Structure 1
């Protein structure tokens, strides 16, 4: 499982210690942010079931639908995340569709 620290913003707050990554057993990208004050669970936790988010753009859309955002990811981090997924699936290089997705993710909205 890969884990990278990023900043998630939304609903008038920011979490500079949020985590994004790829979970090979669940075959999904995930996002965790805003630690709950009373439990160990994150207040925002996306990507908890099999193939929940197969692309970073899917994960971003879900975050936005909950009132949060984590963009823009740096090109280097976005590439690492795509490489993590490729490595977990046994592919040695990013395929063209994922590479195109990286270009789209790095454009400011």
Structure 2
């Protein structure tokens, strides 16, 4: 899983310690920002489901739809995020037939 610190703005506030990254097991980009008032979870947390945001643009549009923004990303960071996802392409999904076979094998040992 990659994690990079960025600044997220919106709804009259700013979080300079927000996290953006790519989660290979879920095969999605994610964004975490703003401490939650009650829990340890982020108040803004996008990309918690499999294949939720397969493109950075999709993640960006979802943030904007909720009243937040994290653009522009530097070209270097954008490239790292794209490379993180590209490194994951071609790997079998954990929930697929290979993943089920590996689980059975690990249980039988």
Write out per-residue CA displacement over residues 27-84 of structure 1, whole angstroms, 9 at most, x where no aligned residue.
0000000011321110000000010001000000000000000000000000000000
Task: Report the number of matched residues.
Answer: 91
Q: CA deviation at 1:90?
A: 4.0
Alignment of 1:1-109 (within 5 A): 1-90=1-90
* Alignment RMSD: 1.1
Task: State the TM-score, normalized to the length of structure 2.
Answer: 0.81
Taking structure 1 as the reference length, the TM-score comes to 0.81
Deviation at residue 89 of structure 1 after TM alignment: 1.5
Unaligned stretches of 5+ residues in structure 2: 92-109
Which sections of structure 1, spanning at least 5 residues, go unmatched? Answer: 92-109
Q: Which has the larger radius of gyration?
A: 2
How far is 1:88 from its partner? 1.3
Between the aligned partners of 2:90 and 2:14, the Cα distance in structure 1 is: 35
